[in-house]
Chains A and B, each alone.
Chain A
Amino acid sequence: MKYLFLAISSILMIAAQMVAGSNFFLFNFLDFSLLLIAYWALYRNRIQALFVGSLTGVLLDAVIGWPLGYNGFGKTLAAYVIGQTAKHFNVEEGWIRFVLLAGSSCVSSFSIFLLFALLQRGASPVFLGASLAQALITGLVGVLLFAAHDSYQHAHSGKAS
């Protein structure tokens, strides 16, 4: 049941990404799937975050027409990086979260770029530039979203107590 929820949430996130990206150009620079992965890795379960990363990545590949696996590889790696970083660092701080999100986004993009190069597909340097922009925007939006989430949680827990 839990994994069904993971799957549905992943599908919904990719659908949201596509809808938003096709209607608002700037949303193409916001990695919805990475935000979902980060949420799962920071607030829920790191192993489940790995599966979310794999699934969203493969779905993204399917949607954008790439051979399946590129984004799956990158997002899984990003989920692992976020999970391992959260284990060693205090990720409560906003700037750390930003670095973590932007960095994991860069890791994901760079790994994809590397796979492109290694597996005999042409990769334009534009991809790296766009990926950097995407990392910054995703990091920034992620920090804001998670801060809002934390505030909500605090408020909710305060009400409960």
Chain B
Amino acid sequence: MSLEVARRPREARATLVVLPLLVLHLILISIQIEDPGGTTLFRKGVLIAVTPFLNGSAAVVRGAAHLWRNYLWLVGARAENELLNETVRRLKLRDQSLRQMQDENERLRRLLSFREQSGLRTIGARVVGRVPNFLSNVMYIDRGLADGVAVDMPVLSGEGVVGRTVVVSPHQSQVQLITNSDASLGVMLAVSHSPGVLSGTGGIELRLDYINNTEKVAAGDVVVTSGLDSVFPKGIPVGQVVKSQKGKTVFRDIQVRPFAGMLRSEEVLVVLGGTMSPGEGGPQGP
């Protein structure tokens, strides 16, 4: 019994020794045996044994790379994203600025063209303020007494009549828009030359009075200044008839929409009076 107990560790060791020895011999054989393809069985066996580990490690590397690309790298990507967003915002602002400059350029071009066509002595002015109201009916320009601007001078845009100066300070003037309910000007229909009085309503559209019911006035007819009010020179476009119907009295009820965008005008011309001399034709920007 005691002999058996004493032998047990040695028996266990024998089993432990025989297995590596047998494997060693198998490896030894496989190193030397070649398959028809010329590859040794050892290489093939190693490949077969190693492939799962390679696949596993490749999967781990792929996973790590995936983790890196999709999570950890995003830390940098987030910063880059913020940078790009900032760039996009800056570019949008720049684009907006360029567009505004383009619009301004276009408006100034129209204004200059209008000035040259009218032949009037004018000075350019920039709109520096409006009464903060959707239906604002006065605005402020950056020209005043020092620039030769006086009260009751016509203010025009590239499209047509905007209003007239009502209060003038040395370097600024308040302009009463033709949409103001207190404003009125002498006009005529461009085709028939029928005179009338155009009055502001406080709204977007104007009211044309004193046109006989017998007159043929249709929507789309152009209204221009008549020059009879002693403020606005004759022949300046004012607006377009949008509604015309027989009135209850002898005069028609006519609504006119002004050409000049009262809320959009940013540069205007102030008519100083008289006509331009040959030397005054150059640009005189706001």
For chain B residues 21-62, which have a beta carbon within 8 Å of chain A? 21-22, 24-30, 32-33, 35, 41
Contacting pair A76 B11 (CB below 8 A): no
Binary contact readout A84-111 vs B (1 if CB under 8 angstroms, 0 otherwise)? 1001000000000000000000000000
Contact partners of A76 in chain B: CB under 8 A: 18, 21-22, 25
A50-B17 CB under 8 A given contacts A76-B22, A119-B41, A120-B33:
yes
Given contacts A54-B21, A72-B28, A76-B21, contact A119 B33 (CB under 8 A): yes
User: Is A6 engaged at the interface, CB distance under 8 Å to the other chain?
Assistant: no
Is there contact, CB below 8 Å, between B29 and A47? no
Are B18 and A50 neighbours in the complex by a CB distance under 8 Å? yes
A80:B14 contact, CB within 8 angstroms: yes
Q: Give the contact-size bracket for chain A.
A: 20 to 34
Distance (whole angstroms) from the CB of A89 to the closest CB of chain B: 13
The stretch from A22-30, A63-71, A132-140, A147-155 touching chain B is: A63-71
Q: Does A142 contact B (CB under 8 A)?
A: no
- Please, which residues of chain B bring their CB within 8 A of the CB of A87? 7, 11
- Whether, in the assembled complex, B78 has its beta carbon less than 8 Å from a beta carbon of chain A, the answer is no
Interface presence of B264 (CB below 8 A): no
Please give the distance in Å from A47's CB to the nearest CB on chain B. Answer: 5
Q: Is the CB of B14 within 8 A of A69?
A: no
The one of A46, A73, A115 in contact with B14, judged by C-beta atoms closer than 8 angstroms, is: A46
B interface: dominant SS: helix
- Does B28 contact A68, Cβ atoms closer than 8 Å? yes
Q: Indicate if the CB atoms of B29 and A73 lie closer than 8 Å.
A: yes
With A46-B10, A119-B33, A120-B35 in contact, is A69–B28 under 8 Å at CB? yes
User: In the docked arrangement, what's the CA distance between A79 and B29, Å?
Assistant: 19
Q: Does B248 contact A (CB under 8 A)?
A: no
Query: Which residues of chain B are within 8 angstroms of A84 by Cβ–Cβ distance?
Result: 11, 14
Query: Per-residue 0/1 for A114-125: is the Cβ within 8 Å of any B Cβ (1 yes, 0 no)?
Result: 010001110000
B14 contacts across to A, CB distance below 8 A? 46-47, 50, 80, 83-84
Instruction: Output the least CB separation between B38 and chain A (Å).
Output: 13
Give the complex CA separation of A71 and B11 in angstroms. Answer: 23
- B11 nearest CB neighbor, chain A only: A87
**Contact of A13 with B by CB under 8 A:** no
- Is the pair B25, A72 in contact by a Cβ cutoff of 8 Å? yes
On chain A, the residues within 8 Å of B30 by CB distance are 69, 119
CA distance A30 to B224 in the complex (A): 136
Min Cβ gap A37→B in Å is: 12
Known: A87-B7, A119-B41. A80 touches B28 (CB 8 A): no
Complex contact B25–A69 (CB within 8 A): yes
Known interface pairs A47-B13, A50-B17; A67-B24 also in contact (CB < 8 Å): no
* With contact pairs A67-B32, A119-B33 given, residues A54 and B13 touching in the complex (Cβ less than 8 Å): no
Please determine whether A54 and B24 come into contact, CB atoms closer than 8 angstroms: yes
> CB-CB < 8 A to A119: which residues of B?
29-30, 33, 41
Give the interface of A toward B (CB within 8 A): 46-47, 50-51, 53-54, 57-58, 67-70, 72-73, 76-77, 79-80, 83-84, 87, 115, 119-121
A sample of 10 more A-B contacts (CB under 8 A), given A68-B28, A77-B22, A87-B7, is A47-B14, A57-B25, A58-B25, A67-B29, A69-B25, A73-B25, A77-B18, A119-B29, A119-B41, A121-B33
Lowest 10 CB-CB distances: which A-B pairs, in order?
Answer: A69-B29, A69-B28, A73-B25, A67-B32, A72-B25, A69-B25, A80-B18, A76-B21, A46-B14, A68-B28
For this complex, 13 residue pairs linking A to B, each with C-beta atoms less than 8 Å apart, are A46-B14, A53-B21, A54-B25, A67-B28, A68-B29, A69-B30, A70-B29, A73-B22, A73-B25, A76-B22, A77-B22, A115-B26, A119-B33
